[in-house]
Amino acid sequence: MSALYDRTTSTTVAPVSVKIVISGGFGVGKTTFVGSISEIEPLLTEADMTDESVGVDNRDPVPGKVTTTVALDFGRISLDETLRLYLFGTPGQDRYAFLWDDLVEGALGAVVLLDTQRIEDCFPAIDYFEEHRVPFLVAVNHFQDTRQFELAEVREALGVDDLVPLVPCDARRRDSVKGVLVALTEEVLARRLAEQAAVF
Superfamily of domain 4-199 in CATH is: P-loop containing nucleotide triphosphate hydrolases (3.40.50.300)
CA 11 – CA 81 distance, rounded (Å): 15
Q: What pLDDT is recorded for position 14?
A: 78
Q: What pLDDT is recorded for position 141?
A: 94
Helix residue ranges per DSSP H, 84-173: 100-104, 123-131, 151-158
Q: What pLDDT is recorded for position 46?
A: 56
Q: What pLDDT is recorded for position 4?
A: 44
Phi and psi at residue 127, to the nearest 5°: -60, -40
Ranges of the chain with pLDDT below 50 = 1-7, 10, 49-50, 53-54, 56, 65, 70
Assess contact for 69 and 31: CB atoms under 8 A: yes
Where b means 16+ CB within 10 Å and e means fewer, 9-48 reads: eeeeeebeebbbbbbbbbbbbbbbbbbbbbeeebebeeee
| pTM strictly above 0.85 | no
Q: What pLDDT is recorded for position 2?
A: 43
Radius of gyration, alpha carbons of the chain: 18
**Which of 185, 167, 190 is CA-nearest to residue 78?**
185
Q: What pLDDT is recorded for position 3?
A: 45
